[in-house]
Amino acid sequence: MTIYLFLFGVLLGLGLFFIAADLLKLPTLATQKAMLSAGKQAKAKPKTTEALLHTAAVRLSAYIPMDEYKKSRMANVLSAAGLSETPELFMAKAIAKSAAIALAAIPCLMVLPLLAPIVLFLAVLVYFKEIRKADEALANKRGKIEAELPRFVATITQELKASRDVLSMLENFKKNAGEDFAAELDVLTADMRSSSYEAALTRFEARFNSPMLSDITRGLIGVLRGDDSAVYFQMLSHDMKQLELQRLKAQAMKIPPKIRVFSFAMLMCFLMTYMAIIIYEIIHSLGGMF
């Protein structure tokens, strides 16, 4: 009898849900997936849980308060990181994912109460991880761009000997730049064509908040104003090379600990091989004695 009551409750809930979805003109799950995949460049189709969480986040984003400074700062970070979401939607997605995990604590309280605090702690960790996702993406993108800046400065230093056309320098370097830097230079050159050169360079500098990029844009603005920036870029190129050497040394310092772990594993394998041979010979010798 209990099973029949449970099935009745499930079917009644599904029926009421479908009736409410039809009255409220809610889109189907397939439509939500199609809308979600249309805004992404990746070819992978969104999962069902992702579509449901996105729908919940869109509805929740209308009720998230956010002051203008925080909203403007987060909008700049999302734009620089290559994310097309609004600040409210980004916050709502983090809350929706953590809330979905926190709801799992309810059945845990009925089945295994000791597991509920762990689930709630996991929900908090997921929230902070999702909140930092934009900053991590921006830091990763900034690192890739800063790795190309020494070569960019060296190119500008050489081209200043023959020309002072900043737009032409950016266009020429864009052809050989990495994917992330080329995309940003594409945005910069398009902005320079549609507005003031100095304003476009200032906006380009503000998007990443990188000291290395600030030094370069300051020099390019000086070129636009007619300053003799050849010596400035020569000194900047020297400093960039030193920073590049320090970065490479820092990466090289991280390699020995990794090699040490594999060396220890190889040593243990050799010892186990020798021990297996010795034990086999001992057992074989003892067998011959008897």
pLDDT in tens, 231-270: 888 888 888 888 878 877 777 777 666 666 667 777 788 7
pLDDT, position 287: 65
pLDDT, position 47: 60
pLDDT in tens, 197-233: 888 888 888 877 788 888 888 888 888 888 877 888 8
Judged against a pLDDT cut of 50, whether residue 60 lies above it is answered with yes
What is the C-alpha to C-alpha distance for residues 77 and 117, in angstroms, rounded to an integer? 33
pLDDT, position 260: 65
pLDDT, position 147: 85
Q: Is 228 helix (H, G, I), strand (E, B) or coil?
A: coil
What is the C-alpha to C-alpha distance for residues 89 and 60, in angstroms, rounded to an integer? 8
70 backbone φψ class: left, alpha, beta (φ>0; ψ -120 to 50): alpha
Residue 69 tokens, joined: 């400074």
Judged against a pLDDT cut of 70, whether residue 41 lies above it is answered with no
pLDDT, position 24: 58
pLDDT in tens, 131-146: 888 888 888 888 888 8
pLDDT band per the 50, 70, 90 thresholds, residue 42: very low
Q: What is the mean pLDDT of the chain?
A: 78
First and final CA of the chain: distance in angstroms?
72
What is the C-alpha to C-alpha distance for residues 137 and 76, in angstroms, rounded to an integer? 13
pLDDT, position 20: 65
Judged against a pLDDT cut of 60, whether residue 45 lies above it is answered with no
CB 145 within 8 A of CB 182: no
CB 120 within 8 A of CB 105: yes
The residue among 41 and 171 whose pLDDT is bigger is: 171
pLDDT, position 259: 61
The total of other beta-carbon atoms located within 10 Å of residue 49's CB is: 10
Most confident segment among 50-59, 102-111, 166-175, 206-215: 166-175
pLDDT band per the 50, 70, 90 thresholds, residue 43: very low
Across the range 100-128, mean pLDDT stands at 83
What percent of the chain is modeled with pLDDT above 90?
Answer: 0
Q: Is 66 helix (H, G, I), strand (E, B) or coil?
A: coil
What percent of the chain is modeled with pLDDT above 70?
Answer: 79
Find the range with the poorest average confidence among 1-15, 85-99, 169-183, 193-207: 1-15
Judged against a pLDDT cut of 80, whether residue 1 lies above it is answered with no
What is the C-alpha to C-alpha distance for residues 92 and 70, in angstroms, rounded to an integer? 15
Across the range 272-289, mean pLDDT stands at 76
Across the range 115-134, mean pLDDT stands at 87
pLDDT, position 82: 75
